Amino acid sequence: MKKTMELNKSTVPQPITTIYRLHMFIHSIIMVALVYYRVSILFKFENILSLQALAWVLITFGEFSFILKWFFGQGTRWRPVERDVFPENITYKDSDLPPIDVMVFTANPKKEPIVDVMNTVISAMALDYPTDKLAVYLADDGGCPLSLYAMEEACVFAKLWLPFCRKYGIKTRCPKAFFSPLGDDDRVLKNDDFDAEMKEIKLKYEEFQQNVERAGESGKINGNVVPDRASFIKVINDRKTESEKSADDLTKMPLLVYVSRERRFNRLHHFKGGSANALLRVSGIMSNAPYILVLDCDFFCHDPISARKAMCFHLDPKLSSDLAYVQFPQVFYNVSKSDIYDVKIRQAYKTIWHGMDGIQGPVLSGTGYFLKRKALYTSPGVKEEYLTSPEKHFGRSKKFLASLEEKNGYVKAEKVISEDIVEEAKTLATCAYEDGTHWGQEIGYSYDCHLESTFTGYLLHCKGWTSTYLYPDRPSFLGCAPVDMQGFSSQLIKWVAALTQAGLSHLNPITYGLSSRMKTLQCMCYAYLMYFTLYSWGMVLYASVPSIGLLFGFQVYPEVHDPWFAVYVIAFISTILENMSESIPEGGSVKSWWMEYRALMMMGVSAIWLGGLKAILDKIIGTQGEKLYLSDKAIDKEKLKKYEKGKFDFQGIGILAVPLIAFSVLNLVGFIVGVNHVFITMNYAGVLGQLLVSSFFVFVVVTVVIDVISFLKVS
């Protein structure tokens, strides 16, 4: 019997996994001991209303926050998995590969440069995948006429770019990246024809770029967001012309469609989640591919075979039945060596996601994932449950309801998209279409959280779906990271606020998750993410209570000669070693670990804390879901220079400067007062713990805060 070649393999890294589990056991004993110490001393206070007792309660609460956050995080360290794929082992012919719809999302041309958005679109069109099985959609939630014009220009350029990439086997298929240092290996001279064609292509790319920029600058085409508008859909490149070309024709192009859904001032639009659901319906009657690649507009395709790599999981009969999506990491091309803001978020993509992959799968991360369309409609193992009352679930469009029938399947490439289909698609993209349906609730992307992808992935896991994570050597997708404090911290506040709101909702991982089909360890992982703000409350209390104790003369840590002091020292060392073990082995260094740790401490008392606080206040007041901050993808050259030199840029941080400066001044003053007390009394035993905490905070943060104060003075 012929042995079937494997499409993928997974390994549990050793000995690090065994070390993780051993550390869990040891560290848990230490944590239990600290809880016992804090609670036992608390009951010994004669006056529970005294300042000393209040400080003890607060620092105890802070340590409980750290411990609970640590406990949830152990789910991500129990069984990490690393995966590899073998796309060369796919036995399917190209004509038999499952179709893929690529969905690119943009919302504001002022914050998301249009030429960069078009680079993402072109890179998606250039994927090494059968063109008759590929459709590319741009969801323009800004309804900007300039974006439509740019997409038409991009299509013209793509007719030259795609054959060039195919002819010479170019890997860097985003034109902007190809003509940058990222494409150095691809630009190596292959022959004289290559050199001549490359020069011609470069001229055509510059012409395309200039045409778009001039159109916007001249004002001939509106380059602004149109907030109140009807739905508009245009097929930029249809199937009629492409179907006449042979299968091996290098000039073949995928279906290319521009979609701008209806938006009205008096209707909720649900941000990206609403845009994604509208595009699900539109694509459902135009191409209806069983798999969807989702890309943010600033994340371009960097590996042309990423789709084939994803199919190594989706086509694996051992995994495919309950596999909802394959997630690739978010990798940024503009991260500096020092990475002073920790924008690459190494802990998430190198530790947490691998850890979740060993349980039920990683988080749906917003971009760079291949999703099974059916997973957004039903649960695994439940056949067509939504077809019992399809209109109630999906609305009244007969064409869309017909697309749900499994026998109907993919809309074949030779089928021309008629005007009737375009008009029906416009109806599917109206505000009113979702009225009285289950869109955003049981169907499609969830509207219960601003992080629509992450929360939808969570709900998919609750339904019993699984996911996989692939971190290839060559990044499959590359994006642009924020390069200043304001950009990254604003993004972080948005993430933390949305996750905390989800954790405070009735769909939280403690009550809802544990009662669903989600595994217990997976619930712990989601609790770690949704309650990550616990870390910030611990940090805020550690950054304030010990220093206040030094100022007012009360003690919150055991004396040096007390054995419990040694327990605290061991706990600190254990925590640092755990943190370093997750950073240094994954391509980091002591310096990079220190930068990450410093950034985490800074954000812990500013952006993470404010994000969690915002979520709590929004929950109390009932204002969540009304506004959403859109990250600025346009990079300022001066800010980029400062970032590359390792210098902090605090322009526009606003309220974030308040807690940073306040806690730094408090710790500096508390440290000076504490040292002075030691010199006067010649007794350091009772205050050494508080001095060490204050000095550590001063050492980590104050040097940065001096830059903040200097910047504010200059401003």
46 is in an annotated binding site: no
Q: Which two tokens stand for residue 469?
A: 């994570």
The count of residues in the chain is 715
Marked catalytic residue, from 379, 453, 467, 583: 453
- Please check whether residue 616 is in contact with residue 500, taking contact to mean a CB–CB distance below 8 angstroms: yes
Closest CA to 326 of 154, 100, 482: 100
141 is in an annotated binding site: yes
DSSP state of 246: -
DSSP state of 332: E
Catalytic site includes residue 453: yes
In DSSP terms, 714 is beta-bridged to: none
Q: Which two tokens stand for residue 72?
A: 């949830």
Catalytic site includes residue 141: yes
Beta-strand (E) ranges in 15-87? 82-85
SS (H, E, C) 175-217: HHHHCCHHHCCCCCCCCHHHHHHHHHHHHHHHHHHHHHHHHHH
* Maximal CA-CA distance, the chain: 92
Closest CA to 415 of 529, 293, 285, 517: 285
84 is in an annotated binding site: no
- Give backbone dihedrals phi and psi of 236, rounded to 5 degrees, phi first: -80, -45
**Distance in Å from the first CA to the final CA of the chain:** 76
559 is in an annotated binding site: no
- Please check whether residue 689 is in contact with residue 565, taking contact to mean a CB–CB distance below 8 angstroms: yes
322 is in an annotated binding site: no
Q: Which two tokens stand for residue 672?
A: 């000076």
CA angle 354, 358, 363 (to 5 degrees): 55
Closest CA to 546 of 420, 693, 422, 645: 693
- Residue 5 burial (10 A CB sphere; 0-12, 13-18, 19+): exposed
Q: Which residues contact 203 (CB under 8 A, 6 or more apart)?
A: none
* Residue 142: strand, helix, or coil: coil
DSSP state of 229: B
Amino acid present at 517: R
Marked catalytic residue, from 132, 141, 322, 342: 141
Binding residues for UDP-alpha-D-glucose: 111-112, 141
| Catalytic residue positions, numbered | 141, 453
Binding residues for Mn(2+): 272, 296
Binding residues: 111-112, 141, 272, 296
